Amino acid sequence: MGAVPKHRITSRRRKNRRAQTWAAPSLPHLITCPECGEMIRPYHVCRNCGTYRGRQVLAAKEG
């Protein structure tokens, strides 16, 4: 006999648990780049102007 649940999980408890599980990854948080105003992910180099925390990291895309 394998692992058998001791108690029936009610639909309310199951739905509550799933609501918690799926709530977290639904927030893709973005910030605006202080250099160019592009929407970027925090703690990442801006792909538009190539800066991170006010410092030039990548070669800036001209234009």
Residue 33 is a binding residue for Zn ion (CB under 5 A): yes
Region of 2-10, 13-21, 28-36, 54-62 interacting with Zn ion (CB under 5 A):
28-36
60 lies in the binding site for Zn ion (CB under 5 A): no
What number of helices (H) and strands (E) belong to the chain? 1, 4
Residue 1 DSSP code: -
E strands present in 1-63: 31-32, 39-40, 51-52, 55-56
Contact residue for Zn ion among 12, 21, 31, 46 (CB under 5 A): 46
Applying CB under 5 A, the residues found at the interface with Zn ion are 33, 35-36, 38, 46, 48-49
